[in-house]
Amino acid sequence: MLQKFDPRNADIQVHVNGELLPREQAKISVFDSVVQGGDAVWEGLRVYPEGVLMLSRHLDRLRASAHALAFAGVPEDAAIRKALGDTLRANGMTHDTHVRLTLTRGEKITSGMDPRLNTTGCGLIVLAEWKPPVFDNDRGIAVITSSIRRMGPEVLDPKIHHNNLLNNILAKLEANVAGVDAAIMLDRNGQVAELNDTNLFALIGEALHTPTTTSCLGGITRGLVLELARDLGWPVYERDLSVTELMGADAVFATGTMGELTPVRTIDGRSVGNASGSERLAALRKAFHQAVPGLCEAV
Ligand SMILES: Cc1ncc(COP(=O)(O)O)c(C=O)c1O
């Protein structure tokens, strides 16, 4: 599905390196590391009336990613929370909002790859936009299997949530050409890793199955769904899953902050799922919506 411009976002204020600026003036330096080498880490956050969902978990992942990349001068959590709160208040955003939080290695003294050229600490961008969940979670999505593999730790560890998104973008291009919503990316062994922008799950009989995080992002929504399924008493397996297993599952669904829980309707043109899978997925989505208010953090 192709997102559309939301006119409510025409006059938003964006937090860039300590300043709240109108959208048109919200710019970063050509010397910033994210421009030079995609040298940045990020989080997608969703705002509900009760606050930002699982903000502490997102900030922990951001900090872990920055640490793995040896970023210097990472702002304290309190400073990031303040920048986030200031941005949401400036825009009057209390619901249906998605935030793209980007932490860059900062500006370089001259163009170049070497992190020693960064002498002024990290850059922080808080981009909050009006954005209800992006998929039609009742109708579901159609997906294909991409020829582009998701990188594992042998190339670039997906446990770092970084801005080098080109392999995901190449997979999304294939989905666009095929006229579907997203693309399944396989790991180096041909097992399912995830969709180009969300994690994948299969309901098979009584149990919930999902790939391990060796070659996919350890999604925050993924983590919550695993907890909720365990609370419902469902057996949960993190294991290798093939595309064929997904095609034969009772239900397949994607998870992410951007779109919550989204059923997968077709894979490579084959229909997916059945009535009992839909019922179980509906129960899980209900548990998710019931859990959200208690997991939100005010900023
Ligand atoms: C490749 C990829 N997979 C999965 C996800 C979903 O992760 P989360 O549930 O933390 O939003 C994202 C979100 O950033 C992503 O970029």
The answer to the question of residue 261 being in a domain is: yes
Judgement on whether residues 119 and 94 belong to the same structural domain of the protein: yes
Judgement on whether residues 279 and 160 belong to the same structural domain of the protein: yes
CB atoms within 10 A of CB 177: 10
CB atoms within 10 A of CB 94: 13
Judgement on whether residues 114 and 182 belong to the same structural domain of the protein: no
Strand spans (E) along the chain: 13-16, 19-22, 40-48, 51-53, 97-104, 123-130, 141-145, 182-186, 192-195, 199-204, 207-210, 236-238, 251-256, 260-267, 270-271, 296-297
Helix (H, G, I), strand (E, B) or coil at 43: strand
Q: Give the position, in ligand 1's atom list, of the atom nearest the Cα of 196.
A: 1
**Ligand 1: residue whose CA is nearest its atom 7:** 219
Q: How far does residue 110's CA lie from ligand 1's centre (Å)?
A: 32
**Section 200-214 average pLDDT:** 98
Closest to 120 in 3D by CA, of 218, 183, 29, 197: 29
- Provide residues with CB under 6 Å of ligand 1: 44, 168, 194, 197-199, 217, 219-222, 255-257
Best of 42, 54, 100, 197 for a ligand 1 pocket test (most atoms within 8 Å of beta carbon): 197
**Section 192-196 average pLDDT:** 98
Closest to 265 in 3D by CA, of 280, 277, 283, 253: 253
Contact of 144 with 267, CB cutoff 8 Å: yes
- 89: number of CA atoms within 13 Å, CB side? 8
The answer to the question of residue 298 being in a domain is: no
**Section 169-195 average pLDDT:** 98
Give the pLDDT score at 251: 98
Q: Which of 130, 164, 198 is the last residue of a domain?
A: 130
Judgement on whether residues 37 and 95 belong to the same structural domain of the protein: yes
Kindly report the CATH number assigned to the domain that includes residue 261: 3.20.10.10
Side chain identity, residue 268: D
Contact of 221 with 195, CB cutoff 8 Å: no
Closest to 67 in 3D by CA, of 139, 3, 157: 157
Give the pLDDT score at 1: 79
Beta bridge mates, 297: 52
pLDDT beyond 90 at 134? no
**Section 21-49 average pLDDT:** 97
Q: Give the position, in ligand 1's atom list, of the atom nearest the Cα of 168.
A: 1
The answer to the question of residue 154 being in a domain is: yes
Judgement on whether residues 118 and 168 belong to the same structural domain of the protein: no
Q: Which of 130, 157, 173 is the last residue of a domain?
A: 130
What is the number of residues in the chain?
299
Give the pLDDT score at 59: 98
Judgement on whether residues 121 and 183 belong to the same structural domain of the protein: no
CA distance 111 to 181: 37
Q: How far does residue 182's CA lie from ligand 1's centre (Å)?
A: 13
Judgement on whether residues 99 and 149 belong to the same structural domain of the protein: no
CA distance 123 to 180: 36
Judgement on whether residues 67 and 200 belong to the same structural domain of the protein: no
Q: Could you give the percent of the chain with pLDDT greater than 90?
A: 98
**Ligand 1: residue whose CA is nearest its atom 6:** 256
The answer to the question of residue 135 being in a domain is: no
Judgement on whether residues 60 and 32 belong to the same structural domain of the protein: yes
**Section 85-97 average pLDDT:** 98
Kindly report the CATH number assigned to the domain that includes residue 20: 3.30.470.10
pLDDT beyond 90 at 235? yes
Judgement on whether residues 156 and 244 belong to the same structural domain of the protein: yes
**Ligand 1: residue whose CA is nearest its atom 15:** 197
Q: How far does residue 219's CA lie from ligand 1's centre (Å)?
A: 5
Q: How many domains does one find in the chain?
A: 2
- R_g (Cα) of the chain, nearest Å: 19
**Ligand 1: residue whose CA is nearest its atom 3:** 198
Judgement on whether residues 169 and 269 belong to the same structural domain of the protein: yes
- Residue 128 phi/psi, 5-degree rounding, is -105, 130
Q: Give the position, in ligand 1's atom list, of the atom nearest the Cα of 43.
A: 14
Residue 14 CB-density burial (10 A; 0-12 exposed, 13-18 middle, 19+ buried): buried
pLDDT beyond 90 at 280? yes
The answer to the question of residue 299 being in a domain is: no
Beta bridge mates, 13: 22
Give the tokens for residue 105. 């290695």
CA distance 31 to 216: 30
The answer to the question of residue 38 being in a domain is: yes
Q: Give the position, in ligand 1's atom list, of the atom nearest the Cα of 42.
A: 14
Q: Which of 106, 130, 154 is the last residue of a domain?
A: 130
**Ligand 1: residue whose CA is nearest its atom 1:** 197
**Ligand 1: residue whose CA is nearest its atom 5:** 198
Judgement on whether residues 111 and 169 belong to the same structural domain of the protein: no
Q: How far does residue 164's CA lie from ligand 1's centre (Å)?
A: 14
> Which is it for strands 123-130 and 251-256: parallel, antiparallel or unpaired?
unpaired
- Work out the end-to-end distance of the chain between its first and last CA atoms, rounded to an integer number of angstroms: 31
The domain of 42 spans 11-130
The answer to the question of residue 3 being in a domain is: no
CA distance 230 to 270: 29
The answer to the question of residue 178 being in a domain is: yes
**What does the mean pLDDT of the chain come to?**
97
Indicate the pLDDT class of residue 102, thresholds 50, 70 and 90.
Answer: very high
Q: How far does residue 54's CA lie from ligand 1's centre (Å)?
A: 14
Indicate the pLDDT class of residue 231, thresholds 50, 70 and 90.
Answer: very high
Give the pLDDT score at 109: 98
